[in-house]
Chain A
Amino acid sequence: MRIEIAYKPELGDGRAERIMSHLRAGRMAVSQCRIIDAYMIDGVVDLEPARVVDLFCEKVSQTSAVDRPLAAEEEWWDGAIEIVFKPGVTDPIAITAREALELELGRQLGPEVVVQQARQYLFALDTTDALSTTLENIAAALHNPLIQRAIVVPKTNLGPTSFPGIYPRVTLGDQDKNPLTYDLVSMRDDELLALSVERLLALTLGEMKVIQAYYQDPTTQEARRRAGLPVAVTDIELEMLGQSWSEHCKHKIFAARIQYDDASGQEPIEIAGLFSSYIKKTTDDLTPLRPDLRSVFHDNSGVVDFDEDTVMCFKAETHNSPSALDPYGGAITGIVGVNRDILGTGKGAWPFFNTNVLCFGHPDTPGEQIPEGLLPPSRVMAGVHEGIIDGGNQSGIPVAAGAFLFDESYLGKPLVFCGTGGLMPRKVRGEESWVQHIDAGDLAVMAGGRIGKDGIHGATFSSLELDETSPTSAVQIGDPITQRKMIDFLLEARDLGLYKGITDNGAGGLSSSLGEMAEYSGGVRVDLDLAPLKYEGLSPWEIWVSESQERMSLALDPSTWDDFAALAQRRGVEVSVIGQFTDNGFVDLRYRGKTLGLLSLEFIHDGLPKMNLRAQWEPSTQRRTLAKAQGSHHSLPNSPAAIENLWLSLLEEPNIRSKEPLVRQYDHEVQGRSVGKPFTGTGEGGVFGPTDGGALRPRIDSYRGVSVTHGINPRVGDDDTYKMAVLAVDEAYRSHIALGGDPLGASALDNFCWPDPVEGPGTPDGAYKMAQLVRANQGLRDACLAYTLPLVSGKDSMKNDVRLGGVKVSVRPTLLVSLFGIIPDLRRLVSSDFKAPGDEIWLVGTRAAIWGGQKTKPANQPGTFALGGSFLEKVLAGPQAPARTYGGDQGFHLGAAPNVDLSEAPGYYQTTARALEQGLFTSIHDLSDGGLAVALAESAMGGSLGCVIDVATYQQKTTAGMAELLFNEEPTRFLVTLRPGTAGIFEELYKNFGVVRLGTVEKDQRIKVQGNLVPPVTLRLDDGRRTWGKGWQE
């Protein structure tokens, strides 16, 4: 049975209008569009069509047809395009339709029942347009052939069977369940490598040889003999090792021993491991100062105190490779995946905010610059954005903070950072909530979705460079509704004490989750045939490593199983016992009673030898000499008109431009905790001012709050990744302070996304990229120690390269610092918008940032302020082709990037926190991209108030030209406003730091900057709203 449903023709459909505007933006001439939803149902006995229509069709606004095309009722269209998911791809709408049908019929539907969903578009083409728009072009723009198929039917061909009554489904047949074995013990090196490639294990020869040695070991052979296993390795064992030892899961580069030559002429230093030497060490050193840390690094997220009764946790991950292939599915899976990390922390936490930082190639990249096989960045962005919208909104988790970045280096792989914060009661049934126990004898249980072929090899695939052969099975689509049901059920079960341990199924699936949980008890036995499947025909190894979504793994005391299962049934969540935890030191994998795999836990987790890597730094003063720069300090624009144009160009720059039209599509207020929202101000002309981050109120009975902020600035890394890391920490911390945060109450996450830094034939500059990684870690450590900012969790993604048609596009080394912290009293928040005419405007910062850090000025910094890596530099440089490598010594640049005076900054921030506590400021805005000029414009547009600024004295004291002064991006600075008459208290408070009185807030809707140029440089707020505010309007 095929049921078609559409809005009645006389009603408008906003979705159809929106699709047409997207198509027109892609130069396709469509004049009319209608959307029809089709549901295909097969295998339900005695199903009355009228009953289904009642269930699916809303008759006031919709019309329907059963087993005949609605399209035939209308004449205006030229062609129909129907898009349906390929067999085996998760289709959340079809899942809902099936569930609705089950509820309606009051019974479970068996595997013989098929429920499918497709979306049909009718289009009229604009015949007057000279462009030759074809239905095939439109179909190509509407679907992703990796996961969907499109059926195109011109009107002339429309017949009763143009669209199928049922689409093909997954038919795998009953495959041979006996595992394949490989005689590893006697393999030559080339055979070992070939095996790694053949099975997509992403393991090196060295690693394969370690596995070979394990199988050659007589102890191993004896254990295998007793279990009835051959000496040869089985497919499931190889797959588990490939998954467990993948870069994605094992973080081999962060664990590697490194020889680092810092180019100072000294002997190279040996670093035992980046994670242990810089990240973990930083937090260890800070632990005595931070009694609020509860659980760091070892769990799915980092846990810290919120108040006496509540703890909070935070985790951010990336989903870059899947988002490159299927932007929508990659992003939605990223979001719901990191939600599960929170659910899988301690005894289980409640997700109370999401964050997302999304990095794309420039949306207007010319088609000829996009390597064959890559989606255009505008398409990637649209898909990822839609995925983030659906993932967050449908889960009922508000977006608290985030960012969009655009850089030519993200053309290959987009970076999709997804974060989630969680809340847990301090005690769950009398026990600390962040602790879990798993003992031998506990049941191993899987809850949530079923297992299919989706997402097989996700962990290993994301540990490889993306190329033409990347497996499309690694793509999945998340279903927030199924997951939300599971979250509600599991937290209810948590409070009833029905389980002991919990972790999520993400990369690597059961292999990863049960493999990790087994470490608590000392082993696990899994009966893979007990795991519920989406369809028959999966091999045991596929069941073991599949990354099908919406699943958690749990450990239960057998005595609680009955209650757990009963509650699960009432809440509509599927749960299954699939094994038992043991203490014999082995992961024991069985299928229908037969052992298929036996691996020692010790070997899985500790058997992997450390890599040895080389890191060779090249200082910026040699790479980026000013003589080599095509641009130079002296050529900075210096006429009022040129500065005004530059100001507008910066406001319109995609990175700086307001993201309001995009962000308002995210629900940022569900759960009722949003006190500091993404936007602020009067909203004059439909344009609001930006805030410096999110501020949330977890409990309605207390004004204690949580800040959520970010720091990220990849372009600074061209100069020095050390500064890039310091600036990222400073930006996140600065925003936390601007939100009224406690200077000693913030914790951070580090997410590194790097191009492959392992030297090799495909990566001749690996040693430099490795040195960039070392320096970023050093910067991260130094800044975090200075700000008493422990790193409580993190993640790295180290293969962000794409090689297509012989072209390699690598991301700029990117570090995202995500911060969450305590705001002692949310009522301190003053927001960034100007509040009242007459308020005094001041610039504050460390002395180095305000007056120029002359003492440490590098040779390649021409002016008082460092301009390298700034958006001024980016705008002056103009569009850049995606570079293959980033050394930064070619092309346009402005020399050295700024640095933070870490000796002065902590005291300065404490002073600012005190000023906010005293209520001294009427507004505060952090200076970041675009510097003072952009901050002034944002605060003014937010408050719909102008100002007059006088920087003549400031220019004289710093010898800075107008462009340098307005657009430099020196760190640590805030733009603040004071009530008239309070400047005395303010100057006394900041006497050891840098302050500059800039001017006064006025009613007139313009910013006038008086200085060394005549006439004064002026920005009309209307022009600001037009360029900054409207850029993303669709």
Chain B
Amino acid sequence: MKKPRVGIVAGFGINADLELAQAFELAGAEGEITPISEIFERPQLLDQWSILSFPGGFSFGDHLGSGKVLSHQIKARIGENIRAFIDRGGLVLGVCNGFQTLVKMGLLPNTNQDMEPSVSLIHNDSGQFLNRWVRLEVNTKNSSPWLSELRVENGPLEYPIRHGEGKFIFGSEIIRRELTNNQRIAFRYGDNPNGSVDNVAGITDGTGQVLGLMPHPEAFLYAQQHPRWTREGVEEPTAGLRLFQGAVKSLR
């Protein structure tokens, strides 16, 4: 069977594109790192991809708010193409800066299908960038294909976070209830590192096809990336790799 092809957005300060491509390759897909300017020039690139992914990094330096400038550009130039991409069953992933981008362009959570932003990610309560591993609870009631290989998890899984603007907030109580009651929360922190409301670490859209999360699954592709691998057995495939495997499998 032909490998699914994955578009990986790059350029303008995005910097975790190589390891995201690696993650998809290990999961059995074909990762295609593509400068965003090329996607703007040729939006039809989306037609050949089954997954569109937004890696971590500092798009535009996060100078005007994390992911803000990139999201504005993407929405204005290829927003419609992405909507069509999702309509035909395409999967979308945003990690860290990619999550911030998806939220700020309104693709997540997109409850009203109008791509109006309704949640946000703001500076951590500490006011500092933080790199450490966090425990995450997977919402087993969320039926997103991205979580399909993670629902079997015994106890919380662990990914690293690496961000200064990861505090998740809801724009209103209505949206908070809606996301909670409809099981759109995908991941919650076990030990909240940034002040996120309701410990939210990642969410999906209504279709489950779009996932955004602050922690980095692509930074946990093999056992020796885990911070305690020298003390305890770490199983492979790792929890990080399984997120990608789940998505790729769902395409078959």
Which residues of chain A have a CB within 8 Å of any CB of chain B? Answer: 7, 11-19, 37, 54-56, 58-62, 92-93, 96-97, 99-100, 103-104, 389, 393-396, 479-481, 484-485, 488, 570-572, 664-672, 674-675, 677, 679-682, 697, 700, 826-827, 829-831, 833, 835, 943, 1034
Contact = CB atoms under 8 A, between A and B. Distances in A.
A59 B120 CA distance: 9
Contact of A700 (B37, B60, B123, B221): B221
B11 A571 contact: yes
Contacts of B16: 396, 670-671
A479 B61 CA distance: 9
Contacts of B117: 58-60
B125 interface: yes
Interface string B120-137: 101111111111100000
B131 A682 contact: no
A485 B11 contact: yes
B164 to A, nearest CB: 8
B183 to A, nearest CB: 22
A353 to B, nearest CB: 14
Contacts of A679: 227
A672 B63 contact: no
B127 A15 contact: yes
Contacts of B162: 393, 667, 669-670
Contact of B230 (A484, A571, A829): A829
A677 B160 CA distance: 12
23 contacts: A7-B123, A12-B125, A15-B123, A58-B65, A60-B119, A60-B171, A93-B61, A96-B60, A394-B15, A396-B15, A396-B58, A480-B13, A485-B12, A571-B11, A571-B35, A664-B131, A666-B131, A670-B56, A672-B219, A675-B225, A677-B227, A681-B228, A943-B231
Given A103-B73, A831-B230, A12 B61 contact: no
B131 A14 contact: no
Given A669-B160, A681-B231, A488 B132 contact: no
Contacts of A572: 11-12, 37
Contact of B224 (A93, A393, A485, A826): A826
Interface of B: 10-13, 15-16, 18-19, 22, 26, 35, 37-38, 56-58, 60-65, 68-69, 72-73, 76, 104, 117-120, 122-132, 160, 162, 167, 169, 171, 195, 216, 218-219, 221-222, 224-225, 227-228, 230-231
A1034 B125 CA distance: 12
A680 to B, nearest CB: 7
Contact of A830 (B38, B61, B132, B230): B230
Given A96-B60, A480-B58, A670-B16, 8 more contacts: A11-B122, A37-B64, A55-B69, A56-B64, A96-B64, A394-B62, A680-B230, A829-B224
Contacts, number: 179
A13 B165 CA distance: 10
B129 A667 contact: yes
Nearest to B18: A671
B165 to A, nearest CB: 9
Interchain residue pairs A-B with the least CB separation, the first 7 = A396-B15, A18-B127, A14-B127, A672-B19, A96-B63, A831-B230, A60-B120
A672 B221 contact: yes
A11 B123 CA distance: 10
A34 to B, nearest CB: 13
Contacts of A15: 123, 127
A96 B61 contact: yes
- Give the interface centre of A488, A682, A826 by most chain B CB atoms within 10 Å: A488
A119 to B, nearest CB: 11
B63 A93 contact: yes
Contacts of A666: 129, 131
Contacts of B221: 672, 700
Contact of B167 (A14, A59, A488, A833): A14
A679 B38 CA distance: 40
Nearest to B175: A60
Nearest to B171: A60
Contacts of A18: 126-128
B187 to A, nearest CB: 18
